[in-house]
């Protein structure tokens, strides 16, 4: 039986564009989908959106939590004070209905991220040509923060 793979989203020849806002997060989710198909990924960025750590796992036995834990194993100075984006690429699956399990997982993953001294930006899902932000689905009034020159800024 062939086991699923894992791919590190950082390293020689792997360069991710900065993730500074919700549009960049959606482009990243689309790139994960285009490059890997079905995958679970976690990215750690600095205050200007530069990806410092990232893992994308493609095996069906892997969870988003697995990708997150690998990304959080990076150097402490890249994690503490960093910002984390989670991405799930669901292929052609319909994601139009928000799953209650995803809401519970989002809260659990936020706790994991915050326990390491980082901030959870969002969990962006892509599937069936739709995007979903768990942050905006669960907290619609929260807005989406923007990373860039001068550090983190709240969206208007």
pLDDT in tens, 112-144: 999 999 999 999 999 988 999 999 999 888 888
**Could you tell me which CATH number the domain at 6-138 has?**
3.40.140.10
pLDDT for res 130: 92
Q: What is the pLDDT of residue 156?
A: 44
In this prediction the pTM is 0.86
In angstroms, the CA 155 to CA 146 distance is 6
Paired strand residues for 84? 44, 120
Whole-Å CA distances, 114 to 8, 80, 110, 147:
22, 9, 6, 18
The C-alpha angle with vertex 30 and arms to 141 and 120, in degrees rounded to 5, equals 40
55 - beta bridge partners? 8, 42
Where are the domains positioned within the chain?
6-138
Residues in the chain, pLDDT under 50: 1-13, 155-156
In whole angstroms, what is the distance from residue 55 CA to residue 28 CA?
Answer: 13
């Amino acid at each position: 039986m062939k086991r699923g793979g894992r791919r590190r989203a950082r390293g020689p020849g792997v360069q991710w564009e900065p993730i500074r806002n919700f549009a960049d997060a959606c482009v990243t989710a689309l790139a994960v989908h285009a490059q890997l198909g079905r995958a679970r990924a976690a990215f750690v960025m600095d205050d200007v959106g530069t990806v410092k750590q990232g893992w994308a796992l493609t095996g069906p036995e892997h969870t988003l939590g697995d990708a997150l834990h690998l990304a959080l194993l990076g150097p402490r100075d890249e994690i503490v004070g960093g910002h984390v984006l989670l991405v799930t690429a669901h292929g052609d699956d319909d994601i139009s209905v928000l799953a209650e399990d995803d809401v519970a997982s989002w809260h659990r993953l936020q706790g994991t991220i915050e326990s390491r001294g980082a901030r959870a930006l969002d969990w962006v899902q892509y599937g069936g040509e739709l995007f979903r932000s768990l942050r905006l689905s669960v907290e619609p009034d929260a807005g989406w923060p923007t990373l860039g020159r001068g550090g983190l800024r709240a969206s208007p």
